[in-house]
Chain A
Amino acid sequence: MENSLLTFLVFAPLVGAALVAVMPKELARVIGVAATVVTFALSLYLIGPFLSAGDASQAVEVFGSAYGDKLHFVERVPWITSGSFTIEYFLGIDGLNMPLLVLTTFVAMLACLASWNFNTWKVTKSIKGYFVLFLLLETGMIGTFVSLDFFLFYIFWEVMLLPMYFLIGVWGGARKEYAAIKFFLFTLAGSVLMLVAMVAMFFYSGEAVSASAEGVASAYRDGVTLTQGTFDLIELATNETIQAYFGSAMFLGARFAPVMFIFLFVGFAVKLPAVPVHTWLPDAHVEAPTPISMILAGVLLKMGGYGFLRMCYPIFPTGGEYWALLLAILGVVSILYGALCAMAQTDFKKLVAYSSVSHMGYVLLGIAVMTHTGFQGAMFQMIAHGISSPMCFFLVGVIYDRAHHREINRFGGLWLTMPRYGTMATIGFFASLGLPGLCGFIGEIWVLLGVFEARHTYTWAVPCAILAASGVILTAGYVLWLIQRVYLGPERPEHAAFPEVTAREMAILVPFAALCVLFGILPKHLLFDFTNGTLDQIVNSLHAVTQQATALASGF
């Protein structure tokens, strides 16, 4: 089973979906929760090799030194061979996708549990349809994170769209149709450019290989010679021949690397989401049902950041350098603009949505400067946001179930009415704020340090860092103001009848809250130890390539 664990993981939710479809509808939510729990349990098994790092018998030693430590749980079979090319069913785990994968199954499990009260929602049609789509979505998400073949990645990436479209469009709020189509159009707009990049990368790598008559040795697979282009994301990033060609080739009169970088970047920036392509997010979040908002914030947004780390930077390092300033500016603007928008909101859920824009801006900024600390911080920020943000959305959902509105100004004194809820909410929102000791702090501070670290490379790094740091104040502003308006103050009579959080709701909130705290106090043991090996490798090779390019340029 160990050899095909990832396949089990990807398709376990799909089996669940099939079961939901054929079983009577009373069982739908039971099967749904069971499927997500099983998937989560399977994903925990992935941590094993990382805990016993150094134990070679546990790990599949195929990963070269160029980036990442080793690839684990590799599954690799040719899938489609036609004419000049092979598309592989290539799954694998390294420090980059392992934490995100566990986060995915974790959030999906809790979101599925949050769907338990489906029958009390406004739209209660077709419970079976809901859970089928939910589990399809989970398959798409897991598949996206574990695929290391671009073609496979792209298929999973697109497979997520349709379920999400229906989940928002059928079970959403008042403007659900608008929100659903907007989500679909924005994401597809990004991913069609990615498709162009995929085709171009394949043929350009093919040209790189065919330039040398007898093929090119694979960078990390012993005894394998490439005689054609490849969709293999690791090969594209590590093979020196391909890298050299990507660095020098031209595409329609422009340099290949920057163009492809931006094609990929647009696709991922929409998902992240970075200003100015973020506008789908508030709509989608506000209209989506609570569990779907949790998935959106907790997992889907991370795919943008994951895409940067997996594709844009390792494969097109010179592209990253070329666009560094633009990306950093977009990051800073996202941080500040998102925070200012959040401050202006009167809709509870919209506020949390804009806070996501702001928080993911740190991810973009941290990556843009291309330093070790920046990458680590971006990665941590993604995980931290993946914990705190779904928690916040669920907190909104809990109160929406009781009050049936989300107007911040109509709340007040909820801590007195529901003390346990108030406590949980405070932990969640403080984690989002970035209070030291909670998870949000580590990510933000690491990103800021990373930006400062780049001050010798980029003159604009320090101003960016200062502006981004001021974003922290804005964040504190809107979060504290929110807590004051909603949870503090005198108890209101119209809220007196609100029941305290139920056991089910606590079962969702407590794991989130616990992780918020744990990631805040044990960042090294819970995340950095797992991810930094891979991230450092990526940054090292990044620097090597960009310095080489600079040296070449100055040499001429």
Chain B
Amino acid sequence: MSRDAINFLTMDHLRLFSPELALVATLVLILAAPLVFGRSSKMAGWITLGGALLTLCLTLGVAGRVREEGVSGLAPQAAAGMLILDNLSVYFKVLLMAFMAGVTVLWFIGSSEKEERGEEFFVLLVGSALGMVLMTGTLNLLMIVIAIELASLPSYVIVGFNKRNRLAAEASLKYVVFGGVCAAIMLYGTSLFYGMYHTLNVGDIAYYVVADLQSHSSVDLATLAPGVDAVMPAARNSLVISVALLCFFVGVAFKIAAVPFHFWCPDAFEGAQIEVTTWLSVSSKAAALILLVRIVDTFAAATGALPFDVQISTLSGMAWAIGIVAAVSCTWGNFAAYKQNNIKRLLAYSSIAHAGYMMMAAAVLVDPSNDISHSPISAMLVYILFYVFMNLGAFGVASMVTRRSDSEDISAFSGLGRRAPLLAIPMVCCLVSLVGLPPFAGFIGKVWILMTLGEAGGTLYWGLVLVAVVNTLVSLFFYLRIVKAMFFSDDGRDAFTPSIPGAVIVNACAVVLVLLGVVFIQQPRDMANHYANNLFRPSILRPKETRQAADHRDAVSPAAALVRRDASAK
């Protein structure tokens, strides 16, 4: 199939993007249903659950039709990459929808009785989910900005959903202000890119950026390809490029809640009701991480045509930047979690730390020197999968316990081992898995990331390995504070029987964590390898076509083409 055919809007394309459409339909249905049947929170919940499962099924349905290098569609020729369907986006959609269903079930267990505005709650939830889905399936600057906003705006509101709660209001305000500033910075970066290159396609931008940066690098291009200076258009200032890149990544880092863009995270997590905290802790971070992976992969692919040593020098700055932010995030998150007494705040800092671990894998991705047999993307995908179970379990227990005690302090867990062993034991599994110790899945997730880093080698990556393992040690202490409260101290509170579906969910999470940590170690990895493969690459960066359409490419950037020719001549 030729590129023109791919980019032409057809019914076929509508079918390929049916999951997104289903999500939109769910949104409309939640809004429209009260007009016919009257207001009912539970109905909205059921619609959301149904919508999530429908979207999941539709995603699985189109998964089989994902071709080798993914599809970019629903857009005219000029804006290729507007919406992408490839293995990675399928993976995220399935995971997100399953997680949304889980969060909805948590809501049924916890809040459904006293909640009166369920329709609004679920509209916001589904709206942010739609934003996240779009975020992970695009390589178009405008679309990225819109998707991030679509994911953020409902999140601002949903955090402050309980409007009588001063804490929630404060959290929401902080979130809005911080998010607004970050969005503005990101837009600034975006506009710089557009101003420089007159395109919104990240693939093209990456291609030009690499060509420009490399002409500024220490390698003298003239020696590689004599006469380049004469042919090449005036190279853009590398400072401007760096500023644009930096501004752009600020927006992504804000969604990941990477240090130093994490300040909203603890407050928002503490103020929001616990289902929302659960939702945000995994989904918004996972979506942003996958977006990061997509962008970084595009840039790495853009360097693919360069000679080896030029490749390294061109993007090593990006690798170091991501690596350092990752290292600082997990260190900061873990140390800050030390003194937290509020369980939601503690888990918020823990989520910052975990985002740091996952970002480490993204840092490896930048480094083009690896013919990575051990893909960093799949390591990250496995980690996200495990993280879903760990967080669903931990927040599930926390939700039931804090409701029972009407307190979010760690002391609410006191004596839980006696009061409700069916909650305390899975909680231990989830917490120890969050630390990253065998025999739980968290350890395996961490090992895959360490393996990726180890395979990449070099000072930066071995440094990250050390940071990651030392952080394991640091994090042990605060997770064990909860374990200690549950089993070692007991202030004589009443025993209670948790709700059956709630207990089933958290125990299932614990069992899954053990199984994934001991028995089924390989299967998730194999699956993730499949989904991490064949990321969509904009046509300009596809190697096969690169050779076929060399003439076309010359018109775009003579410098890079010359370099490539030179490299292939060797």
Interface residues of A (CB under 8 A from B): 79-85, 125-126, 154-155, 158-159, 161-162, 165-166, 169-170, 176-177, 180-181, 184-185, 188-189, 192-193, 195-196, 199-200, 202-203, 251-252
Contacts and interface: CB of A to CB of B under 8 A. Distances in A.
A158 B487 CA distance: 20
A166 B487 contact: yes
Most chain B beta-carbon contacts within 10 A, residue among A82, A188, A200: A82
B525 interface: yes
A18 to B, nearest CB: 13
A158 B476 contact: no
Given A82-B522, A193-B469, A251-B462, A203 B455 contact: yes
Given A199-B454, A199-B465, A170 B473 contact: no
B470 A80 contact: no
Contact of B454 (A158, A184, A200): A200
B454 A82 contact: no
B437 interface: yes
A429 B407 CA distance: 53
A193 B470 CA distance: 8
Contacts, number: 90
A165 B417 CA distance: 15
B466 interface: yes
Contact of A169 (B459, B488, B521, B529): B488
B403 to A, nearest CB: 26
A158 B373 CA distance: 28
Main secondary structure of the interface of A (DSSP, over half): helix
Contact of A184 (B447, B466, B476): B476
B39 interface: no
B454 A202 contact: yes
A162 B521 contact: no
B520 to A, nearest CB: 10
Scoring A162, A193, A252 by chain B CB atoms within 10 A of each residue's CB, the highest score goes to: A162
Contacts of B432: 162
Interface residues of B, number: 40
A125 to B, nearest CB: 7
B457 interface: yes
Given A155-B439, A162-B437, A196 B469 contact: yes
Interface string B427-459: 010001000011100010001001101110101
A185 B484 contact: no
A23 B159 CA distance: 47
B375 interface: yes
B553 interface: no
Nearest to A154: B438
B487 A195 contact: no
B480 interface: yes
A159 B438 contact: yes
Contact of B477 (A81, A185, A252): A185
Given A188-B472, A188-B476, A252-B459, A82 B438 contact: no
28 contacts: A79-B521, A82-B374, A82-B522, A84-B455, A85-B374, A85-B451, A125-B418, A154-B438, A158-B437, A158-B438, A159-B438, A161-B437, A162-B437, A170-B487, A170-B488, A176-B488, A181-B477, A181-B484, A184-B476, A192-B470, A195-B469, A196-B450, A199-B451, A199-B465, A200-B462, A203-B454, A203-B455, A203-B457
Nearest to A157: B438
B526 interface: yes
Contact of A82 (B463, B469, B526): B526
A77 B162 CA distance: 56
Contacts of B375: 83
A180 B373 contact: no
A169 B482 CA distance: 13
Nearest to A169: B488
Contacts of A181: 477, 480, 484
A195 B457 contact: no
Nearest to A172: B488
A81 B522 contact: yes
Nearest to B456: A203
For the complex of A and B, 6 pairs with smallest distance between CB atoms: A192-B469, A199-B454, A84-B373, A155-B438, A83-B374, A83-B373
Contacts of A169: 484, 487-488
A160 B447 CA distance: 19
Interface string B501-526: 00000000000000000100110011
B310 to A, nearest CB: 24
A200 B462 CA distance: 9
A195 B484 contact: no
A185 B479 CA distance: 12
A252 B443 CA distance: 25
A219 B505 CA distance: 49
A79 B518 CA distance: 10
Nearest to A199: B454
B127 to A, nearest CB: 38
B72 to A, nearest CB: 28
Given A159-B438, A162-B432, A195-B450, A82 B476 contact: no
A132 B418 CA distance: 16
A188 B439 CA distance: 14
A80 B466 CA distance: 24
The winner among A79, A83, A159 for most chain B CB atoms within 10 A is A83
B484 to A, nearest CB: 6
Contacts of B451: 85, 199, 202
Nearest to A161: B437
Among A79, A184, A202, A251, the most chain B Cβ lie within 10 Å of the Cβ of A184
A170 B457 CA distance: 43
A174 to B, nearest CB: 12
Contacts of A84: 373-374, 455
Contacts of A196: 450, 465-466, 469
B443 A158 contact: yes
B437 A80 contact: no
A462 to B, nearest CB: 39
A189 B522 CA distance: 27
Nearest to B489: A177
A155 B476 CA distance: 17
Contacts of B477: 181, 185
A170 B490 CA distance: 11
A155 B470 CA distance: 18
B549 to A, nearest CB: 32
Given A177-B484, A200-B462, 11 more contacts: A82-B374, A82-B522, A82-B525, A84-B373, A159-B439, A185-B476, A188-B437, A195-B447, A195-B469, A200-B454, A203-B455
Interface string B391-425: 00000000000000000000000000110000000
Contacts of A155: 438-439, 443, 518
Contacts of A158: 437-439, 443
A126 B425 CA distance: 13
Contacts of A159: 438-439
Contacts of B428: 162
Nearest to B372: A83
Contacts of B522: 80-82
A196 B432 CA distance: 19
B473 A189 contact: yes
- Greatest chain A CB density within 10 A among B450, B453, B454 is at B454
Most buried by B among A85, A126, A192: A192
Contacts of B459: 252
A79 B521 CA distance: 9
